[in-house]
Each structure stands twice: as C-alpha cells, then as structure tokens.
Amino acid sequence: MTPLTGHRIVLLEGMDTDRALVRFLTSLGASLTDSVNEASFALDGVGLDLLGPVELAPNAIHVSVSPFGSGGPRSRWRGGELVASAMGGALRVTGEPDMPPVKEALDACTFHADMVAASGALAAHYARGTHGSGQHVDVSIQQVAFSRNFNGILCWQFDQRKLARVGGALAYGKATVKAIWQLADGWCFHSLMTGRLGATANQGLSDWIDEVGMPNPLQGTDWLSYNRSTLPAETRAIWEAAIAAFFLSRTKKEIAVEGLRRGINACVVNEPDDVLADPHLSARRFFDAEDGLPSRFASFREGSAASAPAVHTGDRPGPLSGVRVLDFAWALVGSITTKTLGDLGADIVKIETRTRPDLARLDVQVSASKPGNWDDKPWFAHLNSSKRSLSLDMKKPGARELIDPLIDWADVVVENFSPGTMKKLGLDYDALAARNPGIVMVSGSVFGQTGPMAQEWGVDGTGGALSGRTFLTGYPDRNPVIPGAVPYGDVIVPFVMAGGVSAALQHRRETGRGCHIDASMYEICVQQMRDSLVRAKAGERPQRCGNSDPGVLFQDVFPAAGSDRWVVISLFSAADRDKLMAITGPDIAAWTAARIDTDIVSQLQAAGVACGVVQDAEDMIDHDPHLAARGALALLDHPLLGPFGHIATPIRFSRDLFQPYRAPRMGEHCREIASSLCGLSDARIAELESTGVFQ
C-alpha cells in the first residue's frame, strides 16, 4: 500500500533527496519532480525568512524544516545539527559529567524534526482532502529537540531542579539508573524497570546472577512493588556494583543468546556491521531494496474494499478535526501518537485501567506527585493532552458493551502493546476490520509485529543500542554513552505512526480501504543511522567521533564563563572559518572561556557564524525568547497541579491552527462516553459501575 502514489514532491533550497523527510514521503509512493507547478508537496530546509519567492499551486503543501523555524527573533540565525541540539537541550544532558557535552550519533535532532514535519505534512494532506486548500507547515529543529525533554522540563517547572549529564545512565527525575554496561568484549544496554513493566525481566537477571554463583544483593526483591524513582540511592549503588561485575563476566554472544532466552531485558550495543547482519531485520525484509539500505519507515497492510466511510466533522480546530480515535496506547510511544493526533484536532477516547495503569501515572518524579495517586503526575499530563479517559476492566464481560460501539464509532485504533496482546483481547486488526471494514489501525512496538524478535520485550534504549546509535555516541577514547539521555525512539516512532494514520485516512477517503500500520522502533532508529550503514557497506568500520561531523568543515563544544557553561560553533566553509578567526584568534577556547555564553552567541551570530548556547531547562523555559514566541509550552490548567506549561506538539500550520486541552483524570469521562458514544442508559451505566467495569 502506497497512499501517496500520484503525488509529486519538489525540493527547494536546503532540502535534498537524502533527507529523511524526503525518503519518508517517497516510501509512501510520492515521486520527485523539478516542476513547482506540478508539486503536491514542496519541501525546504531554510525556512520562509531565508527562502526566496516561490509560486506554488493553491492546493500545494509547503513544508519548511529549519534550525529555528520561520518567524520569531532567531529565525535568521545560522545553525545546523549541533547548534539545534545545543539550543534545544538535548546536547546538555548527553555525555559524561567530567567531559564537555557530546552530540548524539549523526543527525539525531534533524531526523526527529523530519519525522515531525512528515506528520505535519500528512495531516495537512488529510485537511486538503477536507477543504481543498494547501498551506504552510513549519517545523523548528530547536523546538523539536526541546520537545523531547519531558523529564527535564517537568523537574525544572515543579522542583527548580536540573538534570545533568549521566553518561551511560538514564535520568528519571529523582533517580539515575545505570543502563550501559561493559561486557567482556563490548557493551550491552540494560535497566531495571518499574513494577509489572519489568518484574519478570528483573527476576530473570537476579536468577542468572544466582546460577553463576556471583554475589547478588537483588535476591528476594519483590519486583512488583519495586519503583525505580523511590529506591534509596545507597541500595541502588550496591545493586549496580553487583550487576556491573556480572555483566563484565559475560560476552556479547551470551547476552544475545542466553540473555534473550532468559528475557532479562538486555541487548548488545550493536555496531553498524551487526545491524546489516541482523537476522530479525532480514526476516522482515528490511534491507530488500536494490541498494541493500532501508527504504520503509513503516509497513502498511491494506484492508478489503468497502464503501467509503463517512467523513465526520468536528467542533475542535486543527487539520484532523472530526477524526475519531480509539486509544489503547500507554507509556510514551502510544501516548505521544494519540497526543499528536488529539492536539491536531482528532477526538481521542483513551482506554485505560486502574488494574494496570499507564507507567506515566505511576512514576513519582517531582515533589507535587504522590505514590498511589493516578492523577497528579505531570509526566502523564505532558503526554496525554487533548484526550478523554474511559477506565475499563477489560476482563469484565460488560466491557464489550462499551468497546464494541466504540469500534463502530472509530476511524482509527492506536495501540503499542506487545505484539499478540490485542489478538488475545479479540481486538486485532482482522477482528476490528470484520466489524468496521474501513478502520485504520496502527501498532507501535520495539521490533514490529512479525519476525523472530517480535514477541521480545524492549524499551527506548533497546532501539538505540541495537540500531548503532548508542555505539556511535560519545568520544573515541571513552565508552559509549546514552544518546541523548532523553527519550529518542519513544518520541520518533509516534510521528511516524501519526503521519501514517493521516496518509491512510486520506487513502481511505479515496478508496474506501482501511489498513493496519506496523511501526517498529528498531527499524526507525536504523533509518536514522542510514549514513553509517552506507559506510559499513563500503568496508569502513564507523567509530565514535565526539562532536565532529564529516559533513561539516569544523565544529565543537567550547567552555564559556561560569560552571558547566558551554557554547557550540559550527563552520561550514572557509569563509566561516575566516570570520571566526578574525574575532577569536587561533585559541577559540581561551576566547570563549572568558566570556558569557549568551554574549558569545550574540556576537558570532551577528557576524554570520553558526553558534549556540548549550542550554539547560532554565535557559529554555525562562530565558529563550524564540521558544516562547513559538509557543513551545502551552499553558493548560490542571485540576490537581494547577496551570503549567505543557509540551506543545511542535508543528505550525498556516491555515488549520489547533488548540490542545488538558489531560484527563483517570476515568474522568466514563459516564459521558458510555452515554453519548455507546448509547447506554443511565440505569445500565449504574449497573456496570456497580460490577466494577469502570476500573
């Protein structure tokens, strides 16, 4: 299924065929053209302020992806991957605490922005099918990078606390959890996860340590009650010392084979050659393109022909107004997918349960939150704006009295459970399509719905480790570090899913056919690493290279005045180098170290040199006029936490403006949904409530 077949793309200034945005749209069937007049989509990489005049057809969708976006006080600033990463906060938390910050592998922030732009382009494509008009879709790479900082943003907003670089660990608000471990012949990724999410895997690791006869302070832990955010730091230090000793005695092969058999949630930190030889990707035919490189971003299985479903109108603004979404999602991948669809105007009904609540309702990361309260977690609020909540115990027979009418009501079903879970519930795509033939279902998972690893459990760091992102992030003479120390795969996959949904809905409008979309975090992370695969296929062995980039003449991180203050500088040409040398002289670091970071950036940007402050949460939230002008945080009033800035979906539309609303309390809309959408009487709702269906 190629839903963009017949549509043409013209590339404007700053955009080329290697960009992920171009490859994503062409993977859906669009083709390239040199004619502006023929283009259905026009793409540029510089923004409207720096782009010359372009005459497009009235129904064309023009997409700009640039370092700072179109409009605003810094839209004309020069930048690139490193500058956007610095100004967007990702660089600040990447690397070892005793070293300068280090960039993520390759083009992480630009790739993320391209996926956001693709979802915006395809939402505008669906809106064009509604009203016939094109529009401008604008994306700032800086704002997209900022939007990844869930933990850092809420820690600063609520506790005036900043996250720091933690190397091979993950920072979860109050807890820092080691995640990269030295093996006898390489590295692996592993983290102890909270509660039901990780109980079996955590026990599997403890049992393995016992079996090899090594000291095991994890022994006897009740993993269902374990909480990574509240474990005492002293206890964690003892545990991690024992885990480190155990992993150092294991090999990559043992982790890949025996660790997999035991289900311990550990995976090898792959090199690019390992990725190309991966049997799971081979089984999923991921490298079957003629050049042996990945081409698809998600798989589409088209449904049977049916009469074209009705196109609903909605009261909310946004390009997806009227779209109806049944949301079985949880944690980050699914929640951000439906947040994006909801923020852009879709009506989202979130199915959740008190018997197994969303992880984001559990983690106590800030002082305003308390254990056992489902509704006071700002992390959940960030991830779940623009949704209604229906709490259901799916094991109760009466639950189908609500689920079945909602399947009939929905245009889209979103889920990110382990493959096979929806089938066990009688809610897999085939079952849904039998009842609602035009349904569009999208499934997000670490490994995809098929292949030998499909049933294996993983997290965001799994995608980073297996794809090569982790191996290639860090300094050449140091161990690899967590690439970003903030979620990556977890926040990229949702925009692939949301973009796929919009394309599929317009395709359904034209053909009457629904579909099932299969999005794999591992595969999408590998797409980001495509350049390293090209080099590996050419016989090279790519290695970590710190802050340098083979496509940039020179760039690095430099100290500024003050504790842990830094700036980045990128030189793209000899002319840039001459401008910089005229200001700083040959010792750039000595010049920057004597000056305040914001003064450095103002002076160098005024001279036409790409430069940026390595910003922390306070810098971005309280002192960045450009992020403020772009509305990077949307002020929403929360019933328990009060008004605070929620991360805005980082897309601007020139025509179909959108307006998010606050996240729901657990089960807040049960009666409303049961009555208005499911047609149940007040008496029947009361009966179901008394039997515990609304749990």
Strand partners, 326: 349, 413
Over range 558-567, report the average pLDDT. 98
Q: Which pLDDT band, with edges at 50, 70 and 90, does 193 fall under?
A: confident
What percentage of residues in the chain have a pLDDT greater than 90? Answer: 89
* Mean pLDDT for the chain overall: 95
Provide the pLDDT for residue 457: 76
Question: Alpha-carbon Rg of the chain, whole angstroms?
Answer: 24
CB atoms within 10 A of CB 220: 7
CB 57 within 8 A of CB 105: no
Please state the rounded mean pLDDT for residues 581-605: 98
Domain boundary among 267, 296, 313: 267
**Confidence bin at 151 (pLDDT 50/70/90):** confident
- 670 vs 359, residue with greater confidence: 670
Residue 169 inside a domain? The answer is: yes
Tell me what pLDDT residue 214 has. Answer: 97
State residue 172's pLDDT score: 66
579 in a domain, yes or no? yes
* Percent with pLDDT over 70 in the chain: 99
pLDDT digits (tens, 9 = 90+) for 638-651: 999 999 999 999 99
> Do the domain assignments include residue 240?
yes
- Rounded Cα distance between 282 and 275, Å, is 10
Alpha-carbon torsion angle 230, 445, 432, 125, nearest 10: 110
pLDDT for 140 beyond 70: yes
- The number of folded domains in the chain is 2
Say how many Å lie between the first and final Cα of the chain, rounded: 39
Instruction: Identify the domain boundary among 232, 267, 302.
Output: 267
Q: Are 415 and 329 in contact (CB under 8 A)?
A: yes
pLDDT at residue 404, as a whole number = 97
CB atoms within 10 A of CB 391: 22
Which residue segment(s) compose the domain that 564 sits in?
552-613
| pLDDT of 572 | 97
Strands (E), 286-376: 299-302, 324-327, 347-352
Residue 631 and residue 625: Cα distance in Å, rounded?
A: 10
257 lies in a domain? yes
| 92: in domain | no
**Mean pLDDT value across residues 48-70:** 96
Within-domain flag for 210: yes
Q: What pairing do the DSSP bridges indicate for beta strands 61-66 and 642-647?
A: unpaired
Residue 331 has pLDDT above 60, yes or no: yes
Residue 459, pLDDT score: 81
Q: Is residue 196 part of a domain?
A: yes
Q: Indicate the residue among 613, 630, 658 that finishes a domain.
A: 613
Mean per-residue pLDDT, 73-83: 97
Whether the pTM exceeds 0.75: the reply is yes
Could you tell me the two tokens for 225?
Answer: 């009650």
Per residue in 342-365, pLDDT tens? 999 999 999 999 998 988 898 788
What pLDDT is stored for residue 174 in this prediction?
Answer: 66
Residues 6+ apart with CB under 8 A from 392: 351, 352, 353, 399, 402, 403, 693, 694, 695
Q: Tell me the per-residue pLDDT of 271-284, one tens digit each, with 9 for 90 and over.
A: 999 999 999 999 99
- Per-residue pLDDT tens digits for 492-536: 999 999 999 999 999 999 999 999 999 999 999 999 999 999 999
CA atoms of 322 and 137, how far apart (whole Å): 20
The answer to whether position 604 is within a domain reads: yes
Decide if 191 contacts 462 (C-beta within 8 A): no
Q: At what angle do helices 195-211 and 233-248 cross, to 10 degrees?
A: 50
**Sequence letter at residue 217:** P
